[in-house]
Amino acid sequence: MSSRLTSPQLDEILALQASVAWAGESAGEPRRLGWWKSDLVDWEGGGDLLARLVPRTAPWARLVLVRQAARRVDEDAREKLGQGDRVWTLFRFGFVVDEQLEDRLAQHRAAGTEPAQVLGEHYVVEKPWDASEFARRLESLGRPSVEIVPGGRKLRTRTSSPVEAARLLAAALAPLGAEYSLPYLEVAPS
């Protein structure tokens, strides 16, 4: 994957990552999915602290931190696959795409816009939490063919588009479980 993604494509992936990362938090009220031990987005948790520490960029700082919490859980699960460097997951698309996503986050932080203004329809972080509604949103992203394997949910679908992959990987999280299910796509070594 050597081409650059467009800003709207990067924003769509970031919206999916941020929404899943937020939904995966465990310490918020109401309690969400509990896939990672964090409460970085809600005002009562990390939101208030970040608003005082970095008032101008707090909305983005919260998303960056919760995304990082999700990426760590994702990385731990990928390592157990034994081929973690040859798969795409919602939180890892390889160096080229991951760097573009980081650069896009930095652009948004510098611009000072609100995440809901730029991340589009897949961004649900500021909506009231409802697990059933969240699962329906994920299912609306596509119906990937999934094989349950030790360590995750392997998508049988092939795609070279990170945006399409992000949609399918997010969709493969449904049905929602008690633990992060690591949906992944095998990709050809680069």
Residue ranges covered by each domain of the chain: 7-186
Please report the pLDDT score of residue 36 as a whole number: 85
Find the largest Cα–Cα distance for the chain. 46
pTM over 0.85: yes
Q: Give the model's pLDDT for residue 30.
A: 75
Hey, is 160 helix, strand or coil? Answer: coil
| pLDDT of amino acid 53 | 58
pLDDT recorded at residue 32: 86
pLDDT at 118: 93
The total of other beta-carbon atoms located within 10 Å of residue 82's CB is 9
What does the pLDDT profile of the chain (190 residues) look like in tens digits?
447 999 999 999 999 999 999 899 886 677 789 898 766 566 566 555 556 555 666 778 788 888 999 999 999 999 999 887 899 999 999 999 999 999 999 999 899 888 989 998 998 887 888 999 999 999 999 999 999 999 999 999 888 899 999 999 999 999 999 999 999 999 876 5
| Cβ within 8 Å of residue 65, ≥6 positions away | 38, 40, 46, 50
> What helix, strand, coil percent values describe the chain, rounded to 5?
50, 10, 40
Q: What is the pLDDT of residue 41?
A: 61
**Contact (Cβ atoms closer than 8 angstroms) between residue 134 and residue 173:** no
pLDDT for 95 equals: 93
